[in-house]
Structure 1
């Protein structure tokens, strides 16, 4: 596995700890974010303030969550990361996930870094697996 750029490793570590402040410190002011699940865009933000709202809601929605890097490659300013994701839902959510449900799935993320900050994140995943 390729070593991740420090700013991306810091972001992922903060994500796993649900430390939104550190996550935000890793982002450029004009950061863009997109989440794609089964080919459908399920969340999208432009700017750090909009990302913060989404990140805080996400941190509250899960008792625990973990992104584990399986493989990564960096070319120029872009890092592609294969991710294993696991989380436990903290509360019943509008999408049908229920408190206590464990989610486990594979995905990939594309991070673009500019001037030492993350300027773009695109997360993609397939259907969520796990017992309800």
Structure 2
């Protein structure tokens, strides 16, 4: 897959993510999608397959009243693309870690996307 097509798919995925459009996100994913959220070097969430991804996406959707990923930069290597992300969100409910509904989260991180069969096959979010 060429870099322009990868970039377009990532932009569409981020648009769907920002607008809480889970079906729009799912439409771009390979049926064997692997998702990992890596925080401070440790995997804290991992899914395999569309249904596990859908479950975690629904859970995540309910945590935020607002969320926005902004892509700062892209780098391409073979069938992978790394994007630098600026993220902000507003919590919709209290979290077990003590954060309260209405609090704003602001993070910088990166996401790595890998592609197979013209679909997103791997997403790794690093923060």
- Give the TM-score, by structure 2 length: 0.93
Q: Please point out which of 69, 72, 75 is paired with 2:74.
A: 72
Cα shift at 1:98: 1.2
**Cα distance in 2 between the residues matched to 1:53 and 1:94:** 19
Q: Please point out which of 59, 62, 65 is paired with 2:61.
A: 59
- Give the TM-score, by structure 1 length: 0.89
Q: Which runs of 5+ in 2 are unaligned?
A: none
Name the structure 2 match of 1:82: 84
SS at match of 2:72: strand
Name the structure 2 match of 1:116: 118
**Cα distance in 2 between the residues matched to 1:100 and 1:108:** 25
1:23-34 counterparts in 2 under 5 A?
A: 23-34=25-36
Q: Please point out which of 81, 97, 100 is paired with 2:99.
A: 97
Q: Which moved more, 1:84-93 or 1:5-14?
A: 5-14
Q: Which runs of 5+ in 1 are unaligned?
A: 126-132
Aligned residues between the structures: 124
Name the structure 1 match of 2:38: 36
